[in-house]
Structure formats: C-alpha cells, structure tokens
Amino acid sequence: MEDLNSVEACPKTTTIVRRLFSAFIIPIGIGVPLSVAILCVQLLQEEKTKLFFIGLDGMCFYLAAGLLFLVIMGIALLRFRPRLIYLFVSVLAISSVFYGASKLLRIDGYNGDRTPRIVWRWKPKAEQHIKEYLTSRKVPEIALSIENLFRPTLNDFPEIHGGNPATRMDRVDIQSDWNTNPPKLLWRHPVGIGWSGFAVVGNAAVTLEQRDEYECVVCYELHNGIELWCHREKARFNHEHGDGPRSTPTIHDGRVYSMGATGIVTCLEFKTGEKHWSQSVFSDPTTQNLIFGMSGSPLFVDGLVVVTPGAGVGGATIAFDMQTGAMVWSSGDDPASYASPIVATLFGKKQILSFNGAGLRSFALDGQALWFQPWVTQGESRVNVAQPVVVSESTRLEDGARVLISSGYDKGTALLNVSLDKDRWSSQVVWESKSLKSKLSSVVVHENFVYGFDNGILACIDLTNGKRSWKAGRYGHGKMLLVRNKLLIQAESGEVVLVAANPTAHLELARFEALTSKTWNEIALSGNIMVVRNDCEAAAILLPINE
C-alpha cells in the first residue's frame, strides 16, 4: 500500500514541479536575458556610450575578439565540464603564454586608430637613438656662410603648412615617375622625440624636440642635417601616445617663435638660438593643459604672436607682442583643442580663426570676438585637430564667405557660410557630411573637391554638397600637402607617397620609403626639398621636379 501511495504521489509531484517551472522558471529564464538585452540596447543608444566606442576606434576589434574568446571558453567549460586537472593545466598554459609575451614584448605607443604598437622588449626606445647619435656624431664644417644660411628665399616654408592654411604649394611641379628619376635622400639621422614639424627659412630648418627633461628648439642645416644650435627649456610632457612637444615653430623676421607641449611660448634669435623672451600660458599646466598637450602652432600676424591655449575664462586666445613678449590681449572662454590658429581676410577684414574645443571662433586683431560656429567633437574630449580652410574670402557683402572644417570621431566635415550685415557677423552650415572625417590631419581643396584622410583612408568629396567621390588608399593618419595637382603624402607608416588630385578615381603615382616608423609630424617643403620627421628620426629628400 505504501508503494502504491508513493507511485500515486509521484505524478502529482511532477505535475506541481512542471506548473511551478512554467509559472516562474521559464518567465524568469526568458525575462532576465531579455531585460539585459534591452538594457544593453538602451545603453548603446546613449550619447556617452557611443562616444566611448567611437573613441576606442581600432581597439573595438581587439576588445570584441577578446570578449568572443571568453564567451567561447565559458560555453566550452559548461558543455564539456573538464576535470579539474585539465582545467588547471589549461589555465597554467595560457598564463605562461601571456607571461612570456609580457617579458618578450612591450607596447611602444599607439597608432592613430588607438591600437597599440607591439615591439620586442629589447628594441631601443626612441630616446636612446638621439642619445647615441649626439654622443657619437662628428660635426663637419658648414660650407655656407652665416648670412647665406639664414637669408630668406622664395622657397621658404616658415610655419606649419608653409603659412598657407589651404596646405597648397604651387612653386614646384613634382615629377610622378620615381622609377626613372627617384627622390634623393640628402640626409637622415636621429632626433629628439616629439611630434613637431619643421619650419624652413633659407638653408636652415627648425623643429621642437624632447631631450631628457628639456624641451628643445633645434636648428639644422637644410642640406646636410648638421645641428646649428639648440635652445633648451626645462619642461617635459608625457603621454602614452608619445612624449614631447607637438607644435611646429614659426619663423618671422629673424626670430623663431615656438610653443611647447606644456604651454611655454618662446621667442629666439633665428641665427643663434639666443632667447629674447618666454611666457607660460598656464599658471598650472597639470590642471589646465589638454590631455594630449598643447599642439597648436604660434601664428604671427601684424606684430602679434597668437596662441590658443584655452587657459580658462578670458584665456581662450592670447596675443603677445612679437618684440617684447608682453601680453597684448587675452580673449574668449572656449576650451582649447589641437588645431593651430590661422589668419583670414573675410569681406576685407583681417581676422584670426581658432578651431577650438567648442567650435570655430573668429577674433578681430584687437581680440574682439566676431562670429562663432559650434562644433563639438567626441563630447568632453573636444578633439578638433585639422586647421580650417578658407574656400572663399569674398569681398561683396551679398556673397557669403566660405570656410571648411573637418574632424574625426564620427563627426565629419562641414562647409560654413559666413556673412556680414551692418557690422553684425554670423555663420551658417551649408552642408555636413560624414564621408570625410579627418581625425589627425588637415584637408586640402583642389578644383571644387576636398581631399583628406577619412579615418586613415584617403577620400575625396565634392565641395558643393559633401558627397563622396571615392575612398581608397590606406595611408593611416598621415599628413598631406597639395603641390599643384598632386597630393604629397607622408603616410603614418613613414613612407612618402604621391597621389593625383583626381576627383574621379584614386591614382597613386609614386612611393618612396623616407622613414620607418609611426609618423604624425607635419611635412615641410622648401622648393623641391622635403623635410620630414617622426619621434625617432628626421630626413631631407630632394624630390624630382619638372623644370
């Protein structure tokens, strides 16, 4: 009887369990994952989350691959349930691999897409090259006289982009057949670390370098790379993406003006490197500086040296007297970013354009704010790097002036129309396009088409509407100059590439290996001598030209 009662009770118990399972377990099993999925979708739609993933850039692939690996491992553990000894051996083996890799490899900075650069641990760091070079170098005699070294010429490249915000050079016509007539390497040797470019006047080229605990302004002979002088300021900016100064010096009227990564502005004698004056734009660089350091180059205009540090209220843009270094004016409350200021003449009125963290701001030469176009990139990071390009200055009030701006991090490019009505300035967006997102480089304009690096790939868009014509050529986050109808490109890999400025198709004309590691530094072109550098070495290249 007891057995029969037990048998009869079993179906009842099973039925109760099934009902409980249907009533609670299944809804919970479906509801919890569904709720988590909905929560994840909502989280991904939030602006801060989008900005976070956009900021990760190329790291997204590695993180996704790592997450997939963990999911597969988790499923495998649940499915096969290995014995503890096997699990222990597997964990030990994986740990040994990672430990061995950490002893053999190291991260040597990051690429423009935020992916790490993995090198052998015993590979010398960039700073070791300049130390060994300075110790072992033999200084030859300089063939030219001092006057000939520093005398201005028609081929000078005295500041970032040669003083031409449109990054356009028309003085020479570069030959495109480098197989028959290849470029000639004039010199190449180590330099101090940093991401500065060269400014060239006469036969002298000036750049910023980090040497130990000193930011240095260094002058080299253009044709052979001999160091002529070196001025040192005790300052050092450190960041995982690369230490050292970022901006390019400006040479004007026998003086060199520079801005270090920590906000020190200096004025030096061009021929000797003797200091005339220096100023610090920050009272406390550790709290006021940008996360990637001061990168904007000094702008010379009408006796003023203009920088855009974003140094708090009333300190967005600062103008110093070129002779004495005294502050002439300080204006604006906008936060800083990484673009260099430019000078433009719109409707006959000369003004300073600052592409800062809040957008594009225009100042009169007395510091008065004229007009402003909001343009915030990457949220609070505020990463605007490319210099604005004035497409049309316009002299008639009924015609608007046109200015082009571009940023990376999924922001894109915009064409602005600037107007003036009874002394009242205003700007409007003509079009916006995500077909060209220039993250670390400036764009160029040629015959109503815009060329630039869209997340590391060369792209061409129509200036009239922002629509893409083509996208090809993986040159990374390099730099570019327009030389007549050709694009002279310094690829992020260090190679120099010549591409036709052709709106119908990507046509690579020639290629030359100039440098051999990550290159973010601006190009300088003096006549047909191209001067390039990165955080390891510098080189001067004689380009073949059509006479």
Q: What is the pLDDT of residue 459?
A: 98
Tokens for 330, please give them. Answer: 């300080």
The reply to whether 12 falls in a domain is: no
* Backbone conformation region of residue 212, classed left if phi is above 0, alpha if psi is from -120 to 50, else beta: left
270-286: pLDDT as tens digits: 999 999 999 999 999 88
Q: Residue 4 falls within a domain, yes or no?
A: no
Decide if 324 is inside a domain: yes
pLDDT at 449 over 90: yes
pLDDT digits (tens, 9 = 90+) for 409-418: 999 999 999 9
Is 15 part of any domain?
no
DSSP states along 459-517:
EEEETTT--EEEEEEE--S-EEEEETTEEEEE-TTSEEEEEE--SSS--EEEEEE---S
Residues 136 and 195 in one domain: yes
DSSP lists the bridge partners of residue 116 as 110
Q: How confident is the model at residue 1 (pLDDT cuts 50, 70, 90)?
A: very low
Q: What pairs with residue 401 in β-bridges?
A: 418
Model confidence at 430, in pLDDT bands (50, 70, 90)? very high
48 φ, ψ (degrees, to nearest 5): -65, -35
Same domain, residue pair 87 and 170:
no
Query: Using CA atoms, how far apart are residues 255 and 270, in angstroms rounded to an integer?
Result: 5
Q: How far apart are CA 197 and CA 160, in angstroms?
A: 7
Cβ contact 360:372 at 8 Å: yes
d(CA 429, CA 371): 13
Whether 318 shows a pLDDT value over 90: the answer reads yes
Residue that finishes a domain, picked among 118, 136, 157 = 118
Pair 81, 160 in one domain = no
Cα–Cα distance for residue pair 460/454, rounded to 1 Å: 9
Count CA atoms closer than 13 A to 109's CA, side-chain side: 21
What are φ and ψ of residue 23, in 5° steps?
-80, -35
Name residue 286's amino acid: T
Report the C-alpha gap between 472 and 454 in whole angstroms: 10
Answer whether residue 499 shows pLDDT above 90: yes
Q: Which of 79, 101, 118 is the last residue of a domain?
A: 118
Q: Show which of 79, 102, 118 is a domain's final residue.
A: 118
In this structure, the answer to whether residues 243 and 314 fall within a common structural domain is yes
Is 13's pLDDT higher than 70? no
- The pLDDT assigned to 24 comes to 61
Which residues partner with 350 through β-bridges?
Answer: 345
Rounded to whole angstroms, how far apart are CA atoms 246 and 295? 5
Number of domains the chain contains:
2
As a whole number, the mean pLDDT across the chain is 90
What is the mean pLDDT of the segment spanning 126-142?
A: 82
Residues 99, 177 within the same domain: no
Bridge partners of residue 77, in order along the sequence? none
> In three state form, how does the secondary structure of 194-242 look?
CCCCCEEECCEEEEEEEECCEEEEEEEECCCCCEEEEEEEECCCCCCCC
C-alpha to C-alpha distance for 405 and 383, rounded to whole angstroms: 13
Q: Is 268 helix (H, G, I), strand (E, B) or coil?
A: strand
Share of the chain above pLDDT 90, in %: 68
Q: Which helix (H) or strand (E) holds 214?
A: strand 214-221
Q: Is residue 3 assigned to a domain? A: no
Is 516 among the domain residues?
A: yes
Give the tokens for residue 439: 């993250």
- Do 106 and 180 belong to one domain? no
* Alpha carbons 353 and 425: distance in angstroms, whole number: 13
Question: Does one domain contain both 390 and 261?
Answer: yes
* Same domain, yes or no: 409 and 525: yes
User: CA geometry: angle at 295 spanning 357 and 528, to 5°?
Assistant: 125
Task: Please give the pLDDT value at position 26.
Answer: 63
Residue count (the chain): 547
Same domain, 492 and 425: yes
Report the pLDDT value the prediction gives residue 379, as an integer from 0 to 100.
Answer: 87
Please give the average per-residue pLDDT across 163-189, as a whole number: 90
Say whether both 82 and 229 belong to one domain: no
The arrangement of strands across the sheet holding 495-500 comes to 168-169, 479-483, 486-490, 495-500, 508-513
CATH number at residue 393: 2.130.10.10
93 vs 397, residue with greater confidence: 93
Q: With 80 as the cut, is the pLDDT of residue 451 above it?
A: yes
Q: Clarify whether residues 74 and 113 are in a common domain.
A: yes
Residue in the structure block whose two tokens are 């060209």: 436
Q: Are 308 and 352 in contact (CB under 8 A)?
A: no
Q: Are residues 87 and 234 in the same domain?
A: no
Check residue 506 and give its pLDDT: 97
pLDDT exceeds cutoff 80 at 142: no
Residue 160 lies in a domain: yes
DSSP 8-class letter at 380: G
Residue 11 lies in a domain: no
**In this predicted structure, what is the pLDDT of residue 48?**
75
Assess contact for 244 and 535: CB atoms under 8 A: yes
- What pTM, to 2 d.p., does this model score? 0.90
Q: Which two tokens stand for residue 271?
A: 């021929």
Domain hosting 294: range is 126-542
